[in-house]
Structure 1
């Protein structure tokens, strides 16, 4: 990152409440979409219909021993947000390099994939890494595991997994878009830099940047179609953007082709690659009659159902806020208390961070949750 964006905005109470609702909606919506797809992500559409009826999945189905279980998509999204909060807190020290803080957060996630539980000796891990329920392997992508297999941080100049364009970087990138005080080009840049830590193919990291810019527009109260157009404009300036640009244009074209169907979703791909997952998530959000309809459309296809559901849920949750989410799915969602705590902490840091830490003094409780080290 070339420079830190300014923090001179003054938030009114109504603006803070709206922002918190969108942050909560983003995280919870993504987690619900993830949970809806978790039990069917490796099934064909035919197999889904055989198991769940002609309409496919219409409710949460068991995965990992329970209903409402989330996967690595939600896990990594939470650690993305944790890293962004830590970056803001560490800025007081004069250290300002958010990709490093996000990378450290991803390393904390990687520890949850091989450790039995939290290591109380690592005092600087912060509170999220001490949540025991996160210590569960939920089909993480190989590129995410290998990219974070050592402490060397991938960069755009020297990315990890140069040939990987799987969706593992896209599905964790919605929190970058919640940096509403940043300019879109900085949001895009941060997302691609952090994506290159595990996915080095241009499509792998540019799709993450496009998703972040779309989310950013929605968090600022813009409409989804305009948000996609803004992302296309940012993509056009980047080498290697063709696959991601073409996928988003196919998603926009599919909207004009008639009533949404699983076949139309599958015409955009299966979602295993970054551009396909983004296109499916965007398409389902664009045609959604409501959040329930959009999420069920996003998961009922033969492909990476949890990731496409998560992306669609992030978008719809950011667009409509938490109160639009189906309560019957929320009540069964794994980790809901943790997700809400993190969302509220992020919203508080972004709107009231100066009162929590700074030259004039810092809250010990906040620094215990988000250590500067």
Structure 2
């Protein structure tokens, strides 16, 4: 637990809420155009492309597996933290078990009679929203992938990046950018074993971690590049981030620039596009424009929207997010509840865990 004054706790919670909500909003915004080319987006929505969030018959805008897995990442990390004061915590194992609970949501029609923890009891999470093949196969095969024996060693899909923002949501000085880089990269090998896949996830976590400290996005990318330079196999991720920085400095933002950065189906491209769009509209009053830019392209629009939203929310805090989009995003109550639980666990855990005797309600909520 980190001792923080009240103002610092409020800023931290705003960034945590912003990161998780922003990712969900970007995910939901991009979901309807995920598999459409830019020409088809224009044909369907007009010359300006998608200009507003799309809602269904129930008035909400559905999220995808990007948000689902992100939430289970948080769940696993909270459980690892709960166990840490008992001296028996291995965060990658706890995250892996959380991902197995997510895998259950893709196989079952509804929560089981005895769900493991409160998050797994949320019915809306049991919708199957085009989960990635590497995530399904990596988690569905026996054993846990590790850096020494990764799952899907040739895969570098964006399924690593889109779920990894929570690894960066630690308050200063609990975990450094380097430590969250390594933790995120290690957990990415549970599904994707190509160096670009797991190093892009590590870089994303390090960027989020630096934003949580109050630094700006360009400085955060520099931190990630410095960390990447010391890792074997970093070249593709490093080149993609440099391309994003150059594109942001190269002229007015446009979908054509995104097309040159890639389709975002692979990890380093998704990260680069999210960074480019956030840097192209860096002001807190421009979050709407940044998110629209991040999804209007031929590629994995929900993932780039999610990454961009994670970055902007962690950078500017929750109140910078478009309130009309936040109001309709699927699962908003669950996302906020989980975000607040994370913030409390990191700053007030001594008041939640109790002694080492009878379980408290908090430990029933996050069973180890």
Contact persistence 1:76–1:106 (CA under 8 A): yes
Aligned match of 1:115 in 83, 87, 108?
A: 108
1:113 aligned counterpart, secondary structure: helix
Q: Taking structure 1 as the reference length, what is the TM-score of the superposition?
A: 0.95
Give the 5 Å matches for 1:100-111: 100-111=93-104
Task: Report the equivalent of 2:312.
Answer: 316
* CA gap 1:362/1:112 in 2 versus in 1, 3 angstroms: same
**Once the 2 structures are TM-superposed, how far is the Cα of residue 37 of structure 1 from its aligned partner?**
0.5
Q: Once the 2 structures are TM-superposed, how far is the Cα of residue 90 of structure 1 from its aligned partner?
A: 1.3
C-alpha displacement of 1:362 = 6.8
After TM superposition, the structure 1 stretch with the greater mean CA deviation from structure 2, 181-190 or 309-318, is 181-190
Distance 2:47 2:218 in 1: 31
Q: Give the conservation status (yes or no) of the 8 Å contact 1:107–1:151.
A: no
CA–CA distance in structure 2, aligned partners of residues 328 and 294 of structure 1: 16
CA deviation string 1:301-342 (max 9, x = no partner): 000000000000000011111111111111111000000000
Unaligned 5+ segments in structure 2 are none
Displacement after TM superposition at 1:92 (Å) = 3.0
Question: What TM-score do the two structures reach when normalised by structure 2?
Answer: 0.96
**Aligned partners of 1:69, 1:61: CA distance in 2, in Å?**
9
Quickly say closer, same or farther: Cα 1:157–1:292, change in 2 above 3 A.
same
Select the residue among 25, 39, 44 that pairs with 1:32.
Answer: 25
Residue 168 of structure 2 corresponds to residue 172 of structure 1: no
1:195-244: per-residue Cα shift (whole Å, max 9, x none)? Answer: 00000000000000000000000011011101000000000000000000
Correspondences of 1:252-263 after superposition (within 5 Å) = 252-263=245-256
Q: Which of 107, 132, 137 pairs up with 2:123? A: 132
- Matched residue count: 363
Pick closer, same or farther for the CA change 1:273–1:16 going to 2, 3 Å. Answer: same
The 1:258/1:220 distance shift into structure 2, 3 A limit, reads: same
- Correspondence list, 1:226-241, <5 A: 226-241=219-234
Q: 1:14 aligns with which of 7, 22, 31?
A: 7
**2:105·2:125 contact (CA, 8 Å) conserved in 1?**
yes
Residue 64 of structure 1 deviates from its aligned partner by: 9.8
Alignment-derived partner of residue 145 in structure 1: 136
Aligned residues: CA RMSD: 1.4
How much does 1:129 deviate?
0.4
Name structure 1 gaps, 5 residues minimum.
1-6
Separation in 2 of the partners of 1:64 and 1:144? Answer: 30
Aligned 8 A contact 1:195 1:205 in 2 = yes
Match of 1:221 in 2: 214
